[in-house]
Structure 1
Amino acid sequence: MRQIEPQFPDEIGLPANKGKIVAQGEVIITPVSGKSDRKAFIDLTYRLNAGDPAWVPPLRMEAEELITPGKNPFFEHADVQLFLARRGLAVVGRISAHIDHLAIAMPTSQGMGPGTGNWGLLEAEDEAVARALITRAEAWLREQGMTRVLAPLSMSIWEEPGQLIKGFDHSPTVMMGHQPERYNDYILGLDYQLAKTLNCYELDIRPDFPPLIQRIIASGEKNAKIRIRNVDKSKFDAEAALILDILNDAWSDNWGFVPFSESEITYAGKKFKPIVREDLIMIAEYEGEPVAFMMTLPDLNEVLKPMGGKLFPFNWAKLLLWLRKPKVRTMRVPLMGVRKRLQSSRLASQLAFMMIEYIRRNSIRDYGATRSEIGWILEDNQGMNAIAEAIDSHVNKSYAIYDKAL
């Protein structure tokens, strides 16, 4: 698929206002067209969030990659239209509207489904701008035949889903979003309804786990049928394929699930390989068969935050040195999965606790970590929520995904 080109030539770029009488303060929405508009789309987020001490500026090269066909494989199976909001010559807002054809092929009961479009990447100076942008995104989705909107998604469910509703004073960990609290009010003011809450759990990893959990782990260590192993980075492609196979099986019935395309698997592998550490990603085998995995990443955002989104002239060297031997306060667990046939079994919980414990030990010993963030986890995923609560973690961030009939 491709990025949809503007359908209204008179709205393209700043010349659109020539010859028109524009009321002072009026918000004008135009489709993104050309390099200058793309730059404005990216630049805006740095300006509007500069005063938020919890915000982590993304690397500009990654921000550009996200919205560029040919660089982000999401565009291969999605139609995307970006919009800018202006008052006079000033850019005051932005939004993306998109239709993921893999998502609309999923059953409606799983959250996506036929007729469901999305918007995301919202930035707005004020409520009037946000309302105009969301309304325009809805209109574009309606023009493409969509009957429902599920948002915000920036842009895939696997990237930065949801609007932050709890934890505004916490910086986001790697691969998580951070939005101003006022955006939530803007969305609700446009008759959106809560579809799902995604929770992240914070855990102090320094203390030992409760005695019951320690006994469960010890019992598993005595079971000759169970093997917990590190991933083998020398077999990176094969290990990545194995993890994705378990993930697709484990998550296939989950709300919001959208399968990875082959291009996205390759892209994700290339993108995250520099921060993958063998002793932070575990695969659990039972009777010789890989049945579960847990992925943990050092929180790259801790080193990126002071860089302001720029690698040059000197930040690239700092990042390279950090990647050689990361030292972090926080580890993030973005993904964990157990094959479907074992879910809700005692074995599934035991394997999860064993992987968590082994990674906990490695995180403290080798990386100096003191805390972990687990998630996101669906609010109604009873199994994962029970595991998180059993190890004395607590919800520190929540994100809302809303829906609305078009």
Structure 2
Amino acid sequence: MSVTIRPISSKADRKAFVDLPFRLYRDDSNWVPPLKGEALGLITPEKNGWYSHARAQLFLAEEEGRVVGRISAHIDTLALTMPPERGFGPGVGQWGLMEAERQDVFAALLAAAEGWLREEGMTRALGPISQSIWEEPGLLIEGFDHAPTIMMGHAKPAYRGWIEGAGYTPVKQMLTYDLDITQEFPKIVKRIIKSGEANPRIRIRNVDKRKFEEEAAIILAILNDAWSNNWGFVPLTPPEIKDVGVKLKPIVFNDLIRIAELDGRPVAFMITLPDLNEAIKPLNGSLLPFGWAKLLMWLRKPRVRTIRVPLMGVVKELQASRMASQLAFMMIEYIRKASVDNYGASRGEIGWILDDNQGMRSIAQTIESRVNKIYQVYGRDL
């Protein structure tokens, strides 16, 4: 049977694009079905602020009229302006959102994505990045035995061999760390926290959801400074920030997001989210007929097993100092207690963390967490 690869061109195509993983992963108990409305929004330019500085072409693979694969080829114009030593730069395009029934289907999809990137003037491809670096970068290569947390991806183990077989080599790894948050931290961490609490220059405060935009601006300023030298960094734009605010505001809780101040100036932050995946997994992608009511009830007072720390940052001027780790340990401890006491959580997940981010990896190891998932980004010259 011959496989046909074609660019998507209609709402029906986008629906087929979103629907495919529901069939491919129906027997995988660790896959979390996304809400289909959100998944459609991510690939619809009018509904995703990332498209304000990016362009993409999505492809479907069909066999006798049946969808058997999908992929996205995309170019982030802001990423093109980044320094090449930080991963992107001139001529670097990406592909992602890849799913396929078989290796030959994947190979045909990848060829189509690479062809589109070449036509757009790209000389190198990175993938999978689905689609923004702030969404779900990397292919899961370790940690298939448990479900991903909110905003993290899942994949079939076979995909790694298919990508490497197509001539792609590893470029960067993203790690997530797992820890039992019902247990107190080691004595050395307690001493560091106690010392910080005795320092009148330091204040660790909750965010105030009533001042959502103001607090978001403070966190964004720290983030753009703290992460600016990281591999893959692309600054968030106002349209993206607006989108993130709409999506995350329902799961923002004052005691789970902390801002650290030094001499009255915000210098660090830690964002923690209850694992929404625990609530949406049983909905199988739909809020109808009663899923919306179940989700609304959960959001009012979530009780979860897992909380996730997707973002954490300390301003660059402090990153090489003992103060940076002290502020981090203080925020982690305060949020750990709140997570257990107020949300019933027993497990925390930190990440993703870049494999060369020794500062964050050291903090994760000091609180006795362990790597539980590894995601990998691949690259190849076109």
TM-score by length of 2: 0.99
1:225 corresponds to: 201
Query: Aligned equivalents of 1:156 and 1:111: distance in 2?
Result: 14
2:34 counterpart residue number = 58
1:138-157 paired onto structure 2 within 5 Å: 138-157=114-133
Q: Secondary structure at 2:61's aligned position in 1?
A: strand
Matched with 2:22 is: 46
**1:328 aligned residue (288, 304, 308):** 304
Structure 2: gaps of 5 or more residues: none
Query: Secondary structure of 1:70's match?
Result: helix
- Letter matched to residue 48 of structure 1: L
Other-structure match for 1:373? 349
Find runs of 4+ consecutive structure 1 residues off by over 4 angstroms.
none
Structure 2 distance, partners of 1:173, 1:38, is 25
Deviation for aligned residue 1:49:
1.0
Partner of 1:123: 99
Q: Which residue of 1 aligns with 2:157?
A: 181
TM-score normalized with structure 1 length? 0.94
Residues 134-283 of structure 1 mapped to structure 2, 5 A cutoff: 134-283=110-259
- Residue 52 of structure 2: aligned partner: 76
One-letter amino acid of the counterpart of residue 192, structure 1: Y
1:114 to 2:90 alignment: yes
| Counterpart AA for 2:350 | I
CA positional deviation for 1:69? 1.0
Distance in 1 of aligned mates of 2:353 and 2:174: 5
Q: Deviations over 1:188-243 (max 9, x none)?
A: 00010100010000010011100000000000000000000000111100000110
Residue 272 of structure 2 corresponds to residue 287 of structure 1? no
Root mean square deviation, CA, Å: 0.5
Structure 2 Cα separation of the partners of residues 143 and 213 of structure 1: 54
Q: What's the offset of the Cα at 1:85?
A: 0.3
The reply on whether 1:94 has 2:70 as its aligned counterpart is yes
- For residues 248 and 13 of structure 2, what CA distance do their matches in structure 1 show? 29
CA distance in 2, matches of 1:341, 1:402: 32
Paired position in structure 1 for 2:61: 85
Unaligned runs of 5+ in 1: 1-24
SS at match of 1:373: strand
- Provide Cα deviations, 1:292-328, integer angstroms capped at 9, x if missing partner: 0000000000011111001010010000000000000
- Paired residue type of 2:93: G
The structure with the larger Rg is: 1
CA distance in 2, matches of 1:297, 1:390: 22
Residue-pair matches, total: 382
Q: Higher mean Cα deviation, 205-214 or 36-45?
A: 36-45
Higher relative contact order (CA 8 A, sep 6+): 2
Cα deviation for residue 146 of structure 1 reads 0.1
Q: Aligned partners of 1:235 and 1:35: how far apart in 2? A: 37
Partner of 1:364: 340
